[in-house]
Structure 1
Amino acid sequence: MRLFALTLTAICFAASVVVAQNVPELTGPANDPMASMPAEALEQYVADDKRLMRAYPEQPPIIPHSIEGYQLSVNANRCLTCHKREHSLGSGAPMISVTHYMTRDGQMLADVSPRRYFCTQCHVPQADTAPLIDNTFTDMSEMGAKGAGSE
């Protein structure tokens, strides 16, 4: 029993050392890290309604307008008031993809699939911000690759 207690104590001590090493340090004023500071300004969303080219195949389109104040809950989805199939013609907004009306098994539904109902799980508004890291991505068309039939 004593050996068990010593082993358990050693494991708890080792775990606490590992956890303590993985905890990020507090940030803030150097002399008082817990002092209150004004928050940084929020990023400005691009609201020009221009659709941008996608960065990669199958990328969910970004939202080219502000969604500030949009209700998106189990009971309401403001995005669908313009983008749903039956509303898109009158609103001029692009219709959501037909894949949003399918089950996982490819069965067509009369309404938007519950798994596609919360738009912002895939689609995000475009913010006017500086990149967090440098991007060295080069598109195939910029590398000299030619499309099929271009010769």
Structure 2
Amino acid sequence: MNRSVAAMLLGLAATGLASAIAAEDVTSLRGRAVTDESDPAVNKPTVAVPGGFALGWEKQPPMIPHPIDKYSIDLRQNGCLKCHSPATFEIAKAPKVGDSHFFDRDGVKLDHLAPRRYFCTQCHAPQTGAIPLVENVFEGR
């Protein structure tokens, strides 16, 4: 038997041994056995917080203080801009999109939202009323 076949058989044996060890009753931080299937994600309702959330650190992207379930953000439209664009924020009484969102990656100021800042939920996230999985003692600024 040549060396490559022997190495392949040894690798398969090691994989089988690792699977057998992982099959033991090991619990995750959430209290489930590691071998259990995950529960499907449950759509929890988002929290509406008048005035928004306090920032935890300097230059933190603000969290979204209202539901966005019905918003559409795709290549053709951005539901956030209905209220947060420079043309509509005063009427909607909403914060304006930050000036930093109008600069491209080379630092050139654009007259429209920069493409890399178009998909708001890449940085800004709505909040739910979910119970924290672990205790959190973080204090913001």
Give the TM-score taking structure 1 as reference length. 0.72
Larger Rg: 1
Q: CA deviation at 1:19?
A: 5.9
One-letter code aligned to 1:8: M
For the structure 1 residues 95 and 26, does the alpha-carbon distance in structure 2 shift closer, same or farther, using more than 3 Å as the test? same
Unaligned segments of structure 2, at least 5 residues: 24-33
Task: Give the SS at the match of 1:44.
Answer: coil
Number of equivalent positions:
131
Render the CA deviation track for 1:17-52: whole Å, top value 9, x for unaligned: 446656841158xxxxxxxx9x78642321243212
Q: RMSD over aligned Cα, in angstroms? A: 2.7
Render the CA deviation track for 1:100-142: whole Å, top value 9, x for unaligned: 11112221111111111111111111212222211122457xx
Q: Which residue of 1 aligns with 2:36?
A: 26
Structure with more relative contact order (C-alpha pairs < 8 Å, separation 6 or more) = 2
Q: CA deviation at 1:11?
A: 1.9
Partners of 2:102 and 2:41 lie apart in 1 by 40
Give the TM-score taking structure 2 as reference length. 0.77
Q: Which residue of 2 aligns with 1:74?
A: 75
For the structure 1 residues 61 and 27, does the alpha-carbon distance in structure 2 shift closer, same or farther, using more than 3 Å as the test? same
Structure 1 segments of 4 or more deviating over 6 A? none
For the structure 1 residues 124 and 15, does the alpha-carbon distance in structure 2 shift closer, same or farther, using more than 3 Å as the test? same
Render the CA deviation track for 1:51-85: whole Å, top value 9, x for unaligned: 12111211111111110121111111100111111
Partners of 1:9 and 1:17 lie apart in 2 by 12
